[in-house]
Amino acid sequence: METRDLQAFLAVAANGSITKAAAMLGCSQPSVTRTIQDLEAELGFELLHRVGRRVQLSEEGVAFEEEARRLLMSFTELAARAKMIAAGRGRILQIVTTSAIGTGLIPTAMAELKGVELPHETHLGQFLPSIVAQEVRSGRAEIGFSSLPLDTPGLDVLRLYSAPDVAAVREDDPLAELDVIPLSAFAGRRVATLLNPLRFQLHVSKALAARGIDTGPVIRTNTAYGALQIVRQTGAAAVIDPLTAYGVALPDVVIRPIDATVLFYWGVVAAEKRPLRPVAQALMDAVEAVAERSIVGFKKLDPALAGQLVSDPASGTNYGTGI
């Protein structure tokens, strides 16, 4: 399997057409078809189904697409690293993060680094927590910022934090006049929430259920930033993580505490027994400084607690997974 094989497959997946993929890649349609066929033979399953003049991913193709992107990114980064070394520009800083931290904290922290400068090239990838762990453990990334689970074999948990989840409402919503929004205010309301019911949303749902609160119609999205946009455009209300809430300022949207403590946990990981370079250490310190000054209820915790937070379901807190 070569990079051109992955490029051809991803081009077809993006365009839904072998003809358009060939035009994008600057090669012939038969060569793209042959490349896909060879890749399918190597993998042992079909990647595409033909639907009229277009093609669509098979079930296996959908599953392979994310892996193909990761593999191609790794190959591309390897080539970039070699060029950097040859040019005497040092190593690339590889950072992986979940979307909430990558959107809400890291950009500001990059602008506020003290004592060091970012290298000539920095890569920032946003993934699910499980992929963040894989990227750091494998050595493809030097440092990872993630929600739980953090206590993963092969990783050292360097920092651990918590802060309470918050409500987001539009500026013209009557709830915006309150200093603290009661969960009871969500009864019968249209709400924006997250798609995965087994992660972040599970703990919000439990908090509502504990008070016997049934919301109105639900709009589900896969990121807290998406939920904020839905709040802004539709007037729905949302309970979201504090990183996105305080780190991403959207016009016409206000953030308020809620009258229930539903904690969100996140932290920083590195490969086991692998010291960070000064630039990665400085970035970690800068992210913490941004969080400490901008997030209401922010707390620094003992990193040794990371495993306990995941394994103690009786605590009733939000383990912060999946954002």
pLDDT at 245: 96
Higher pLDDT, 266 or 39: 266
Using one digit for the tens of pLDDT, what is the confidence trace for 271-301?
Answer: 999 999 999 999 999 999 999 999 999 999 9
DSSP string over 237-270: EEEE-HHHHHHS--TTEEEEEBSS--EEEEEEEE
pLDDT class of 319 with cuts at 50, 70, 90: very low
pLDDT for res 124: 95
CA dist 117 and 109 (Å) reads 12
Q: What pLDDT is recorded for position 199?
A: 63
Instruction: Identify the pLDDT of residue 313.
Output: 38
Q: Of how many residues is the chain composed?
A: 323
Q: What is the DSSP letter of 223?
A: S
Range name among 13-17, 121-125, 193-197, 303-307 with the lowest pLDDT average: 193-197
| Distances in whole angstroms, Cα of residue 79 to Cα of each of 68, 71, 136, 300 | 17, 13, 19, 38
Give the pLDDT score at 79.
72
In this prediction, residue 311 carries a pLDDT of 43
Residues ≥6 apart with Cβ < 8 Å to 83:
none
pLDDT of 232 higher than 80: yes
Q: Which candidate, 206, 189, 200, places its Cα nearest to that of 226?
A: 200
What mean pLDDT comes out for the span 297-310?
Answer: 90
> Which residue type does 312 have?
D
pLDDT at 4: 85
The pLDDT-based confidence of 310 (bands split at 50, 70, 90) is: low
Q: Where does residue 76 rank: exposed (0-12), middle (13-18), buried (19+ CB within 10 A)?
A: middle
Q: Are 118 and 235 in contact (CB under 8 A)?
A: no
The winner for highest mean pLDDT among 128-142, 178-192, 201-215 is 178-192
| Residues 6+ positions from 32 with CB-CB distance below 8 Å | 8, 11, 12, 18, 21, 22, 25
State the chain's mean pLDDT as an integer.
88
User: Between 228 and 77, where is the model more confident?
Assistant: 228
DSSP-derived secondary structure for 45-106? S--EEEETTEEEE-HHHHHHHHHHHHHHHHHHHHHHHHHHHHTT----EEEEE-HHHHHHTH
Q: Please give the helix or strand (H or E) that residue 274 lies within, else none.
A: none
Cα dist from 283 to 95, 117, 145, 266, whole Å: 10, 10, 11, 16
Q: What's the pTM? A: 0.74
CA-CA-CA-CA torsion sign (208, 212, 215, 218): positive
Q: State the DSSP string of 170-182.
A: ETTSGGGG-SSB-
Query: For the residues 158-162, what does the mean pLDDT come to?
Result: 97
* pLDDT-based confidence at residue 84 (cuts at 50, 70, 90): low
- SS3 state at 163: strand
pLDDT of residue 30 exceeding 80, the answer is yes
For residue 194, name the pLDDT band (cuts at 50, 70, 90): confident
Judging by DSSP bridges, how do beta strands 166-170 and 237-240 pair with one another? Answer: antiparallel
Give 41 or 80, the one with higher predicted confidence: 41
- On the question of pLDDT at 54 being above 90, the answer is no
For the chain, give every domain's residue range.
Answer: 3-75, 91-323
Mean pLDDT, rounded, for 79-105: 81
Q: Which residues pair with 168 in a beta bridge?
A: 238, 255
* Fold annotation for 91-323: D-Maltodextrin-Binding Protein; domain 2 (3.40.190)
Lookup: tokens for 71:
């593999």
User: What class does CATH assign to 3-75?
Assistant: mainly alpha
Share of the chain above pLDDT 90, in %: 55
